[in-house]
């Protein structure tokens, strides 16, 4: 190659190191100043699209320029999920070990589909699956696999449940064009929408998802489940799975697993437990006694990227029915056939994915870097912060805690005594709903914190999820001050004669 011929290869390793140092420096600055940034972007979608729209670049951009542009246009216009005052949905965060592990994973770029395509990756995956199973009280010898999210993990678990109906031979013959019983799937009305999406995908249909009304604590009532199953059996329908939840999305409720498991065993029904949020909180001493026995689940979902300071995407799916997952998904074309080897696991056989990232490395680094006790201490700290906030609201004459939980998900509702006098009971509730909705929106508009909401029997409720590894006591104290001040201002505005 002549001295003037341009390089057609990658960056030189020295260039990669230099640019990597620059990126890590910018990440450090970003983390050091994160509390000075708005939690959410206020720019319109059209305005934001205009920042990036344009023709395909014809010429290369220097990395320093690209990095500057990224931190000027991309980063400030994100919702900062790793912000210590991000409390919406399920608050999560990345951590130092995981950030660096993701970098190494990208550099290695292995495909962890077969043991032989990435032997150490498969071995690390088996190890972290064993470790996390022990952390949540599930059998270490259960089949397990890392997938990219809880929604797909639930789909895979329910696919195994459907295919375990060996008399129907769904894997070979399908469900269409033949006489098969109407398959029924049971859950509560608080269960995640991924259950219905799974029913759509599996050909069960949403009409066959029996959503039972939750009890006053947001849990699936065993009596209602038993009655629904009996009625379906009387009408010739085929119950095949129940989905229980440990940590519901709205309020953090925990379904009564022992009673539900007994009903499932009585009728030979698969019990799938969605512990995506709640499962790993078992590490916290204050939470562990309330989570129930996860070992009762035929299939189980837990989510390191919700709880374990792990970046998206990493979810663990377990199944104690040995062979059920590979029986549902194993399909090996000739070019992927390998000689079997003792202790080797081919993870492509445990889900729909063939191309699989080395997800296990970041989990391995997190557990090794912090240790089980370090993780337990950090999760316990989040539980303490949430209890502090819950106690403040419960003691305040104008705030209520309409749904309690042992998990660090705090549901709050502002209910001042002073409301317009002419309102009837229904109108009063609607007025308070509008007030709380205004508070939630106004908190987000300040850029100082970000919340989400749900609707319970009490009405419109603010959800405060605490779980970021960066969140400190002063952050939660600041949130409480912001909530009380915002509520007072919103209340005053709503009472104003000029308010709509």
Q: What percent of the chain has pLDDT over 90?
A: 92
pLDDT grade for 177, boundaries at 50, 70 and 90: confident
Pairing type for strands 459-465 and 409-414 reads antiparallel
Distance of CA 427 to the CA centre of its chain: 35
Tell me how far the alpha carbon of residue 130 is from its chain's centroid.
20
136-150, 163-177, 197-211: least confidently modelled range: 163-177
Q: Are the beta carbons of 295 and 275 closer than 8 angstroms?
A: no
What is the rounded average pLDDT of the residues 313-329? 96
Contact 243, 260 (CB under 8 A): no
Is it the case that residue 339 has pLDDT exceeding 90? Answer: no
Tens digit of each residue's pLDDT (9 = 90 or more) over 387-398:
999 999 999 999
For position 301, what pLDDT does the model report?
Answer: 98
pTM of this structure? 0.94
User: Is the predicted pLDDT of residue 436 greater than 90, yes or no?
Assistant: yes
**What is the pLDDT, as a whole number, of residue 3?**
55
Reference 229, options 198, 256, 255, 267; nearest CA is: 267
Q: In what order do the strands lie in the sheet with 209-212?
A: 143-147, 315-319, 299-302, 270-275, 238-245, 183-188, 209-212
Residues 140 and 134: beta-carbon distance below 8 Å: yes
């Amino acid at each position: 190659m002549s001295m003037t011929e341009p390089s057609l290869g990658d960056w030189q390793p020295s260039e990669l190191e230099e640019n990597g140092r620059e990126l890590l420096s910018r990440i450090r600055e970003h983390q050091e100043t994160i509390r000075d940034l708005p939690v959410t972007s206020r720019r319109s979608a059209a305005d934001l699209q205009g920042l990036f729209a344009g023709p395909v670049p014809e010429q290369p951009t220097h990395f320093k320029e690209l990095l500057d542009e990224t931190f000027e246009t991309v980063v400030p216009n994100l919702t900062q999920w790793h912000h210590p005052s991000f409390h919406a949905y399920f608050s999560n965060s990345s951590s130092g070990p995981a950030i660096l592990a993701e970098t190494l994973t990208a550099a290695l770029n292995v495909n962890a589909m077969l043991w032989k395509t990435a032997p150490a990756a498969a071995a690390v995956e088996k190890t972290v699956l064993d470790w996390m199973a022990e952390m949540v009280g599930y059998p270490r010898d259960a089949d397990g696999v890392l997938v990219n999210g809880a929604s797909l993990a639930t789909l895979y678990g329910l696919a195994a449940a459907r295919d375990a109906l060996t008399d129907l031979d769904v894997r070979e013959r399908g469900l269409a064009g033949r006489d098969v019983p109407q398959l029924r799937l049971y859950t509560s009305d608080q269960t995640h929408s991924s259950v219905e999406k799974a029913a759509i995908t599996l050909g069960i249909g949403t009409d066959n998802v029996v959503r039972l009304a939750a009890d006053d604590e947001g849990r699936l009532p065993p009596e209602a489940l038993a009655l629904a199953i009996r009625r379906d059996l009387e009408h010739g329908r085929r119950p095949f799975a129940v989905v229980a939840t440990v940590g519901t999305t709205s309020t953090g409720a925990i379904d009564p697993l022992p009673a539900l498991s007994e009903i499932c065993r009585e009728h030979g029904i698969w019990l799938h437990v969605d512990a995506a949020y709640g499962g790993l909180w078992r590490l916290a001493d204050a939470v562990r006694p309330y989570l129930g026995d996860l070992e009762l689940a035929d299939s189980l979902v837990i989510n390191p990227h919700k709880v374990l300071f792990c970046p998206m995407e990493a979810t663990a799916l377990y199944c104690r029915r040995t062979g059920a997952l590979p029986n549902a998904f194993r399909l090996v074309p000739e070019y992927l056939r390998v000689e079997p080897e003792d202790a080797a696991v081919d993870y492509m056989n445990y889900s729909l994915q063939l191309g699989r990232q080395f997800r296990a490395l970041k989990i391995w680094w997190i557990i090794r870097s912090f240790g089980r006790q370090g993780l337990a201490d950090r999760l316990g700290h989040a539980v303490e912060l949430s209890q502090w906030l819950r106690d403040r609201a419960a003691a305040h004459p104008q705030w209520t805690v309409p749904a309690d939980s042992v998990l660090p998900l705090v549901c709050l509702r502002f209910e001042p005594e002073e409301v317009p006098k002419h309102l009837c009971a229904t109108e009063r509730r609607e007025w308070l709903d509008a007030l709380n909705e205004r508070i939630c929106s106004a908190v987000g508009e300040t850029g100082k914190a970000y919340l989400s909401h749900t609707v319970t029997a009490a009405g419109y409720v603010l959800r405060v999820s605490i779980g970021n590894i960066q969140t400190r006591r002063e952050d939660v104290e600041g949130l409480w001050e912001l909530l009380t001040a915002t509520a007072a201002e919103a209340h005053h505005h709503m009472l104003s004669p000029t308010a709509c």
